[in-house]
Structure 1
Amino acid sequence: MYIIGFIAAVYLFARKYVENEPLKKYLDVSANWVNEILNSYKNQEPKHLFERLLKLSNKIIFYSLLMIFVTMLLPKDIEKMFISIIAPITVISMLLSFSIKWIQYHNKTLKEYFFNLPMLGVLFSPLLFYYIEKYPLDPNININDIFIPFKFLIDKIGIFYFQLLWLAGVSAFIYLGAVVIAFPIYYILYGCIIVTALFIKFTEKYISKNVLDVIVGLIALFTGPFIKMFS
């Protein structure tokens, strides 16, 4: 909060009091560039913004994982510090990427997550272990040892009906779990996009065309009480 308030204060001070012509020109060009981005943002459909956010999230995931791998070569204390910073960013990016793909590209994502060898192995594991036990490659493998909580059910209804129940139950659990994760993230973001676009339109119409100055001013205004509260 201190850092955000400090940055906002420095920006407003520079915009108002800097007289050095090259620096002032640079600040004006930068502010105009940001305002152009905000202006284009308010006129875009959320779907297109989500597509851009998906690409950005995937890039962040890739570079974050690469950075985590590199930090593993560093001393342990430095590694822990970097991972504590990078890991949350990676997790958030993964959640964003998954949520957008699940909602906007549902059929493709469903096939991608359900029709692969590891997932098929999980879904059909009762039959797989049953046949491994019947024609053992390893005499120590026993289906009843692996599915101990379901032993009574397997004995009662048989392996094939249990396989059907397992397939339906695990598929439903994974699907509903994906829905519980994806829907809130996606639609909260969707609401934020709509509200932000309306805010930009309102600001340009009733306050100032320089939306960035208004946003930074509001940040400085609202961070002040928080800084006093926690100081």
Structure 2
Amino acid sequence: MSPLRITVWNEGVHESTQDPAGMAEYYPGGIHGAIAAGIGEQLPDATVRTALLSDPEHGLPEEVLADTDVLLWWGHKAHGQVDDEVVDRVQRHVLSGMGLLVLHSGHFSKIFTRLLGTTCSLSWRNAAEREVVWTVDPTHPIAEGVPNPLVIPEQETYGEFFDIPAPDELIFISSFTGGEVFRSGVTFNRGRGRIFYFSPGDERYPVYNQPEIRRVLANGIRWAAQPGIPRTPPSVSNPPRDWYLPE
């Protein structure tokens, strides 16, 4: 089997304008760099590229997406700056079978809200509290080798209600020091594509450096990847009825 082809997308705004000094403490190569490094550790045979909002076509031209088995998406401050033409292109590839991992504040991204059809809003606050990620589906491939619970010492707090459709699969729920709970790991199928949303991973904390988090992302990539299927979206046709002749 050919190596998986992975693209890690990051808006890169915190690294460049919002908090470059603070980001450099935990993510000197940017959040995209930390995520890509974790994938390299967990999936050493994979081909990993990174892309940024500031790149031409946001780093996601047709040739890149056609060469991507799974796209990881991290965004926070610049969702509205993502060009609709690029969103259209990503959506077409997801519906055609490209895997999509949406991370943390990517729940508000244009691509996620479009594919899910809801606001994807949630309750949140940021007090550097502990997050405990509980596995509720230990048989799922994304949960393989992940400690239960997975403890994150400091993290932004997300809480219900999370305005998403009922997920196809609920894999992780999180609890926080302040009492909130959150559906932190969920999957969806759209067209031929598989989508995994995983919430841990704020820019203020070194979450993507944790080996357990890197394991979750690698498992999500393996689950979402479908390298062998034709990259064509499902279509509806109206075939002739001569194949069915009622008595």
Specify which structure has the bigger relative contact order, considering alpha-carbon pairs within 8 angstroms and separated by 6 or more residues: 1
TM-score with structure 2 setting the length: 0.20
Q: Relative to total residues, which structure has the larger strand share, 1 or 2?
A: 2
TM-score with structure 1 setting the length: 0.21
Whose Rg is larger? 1
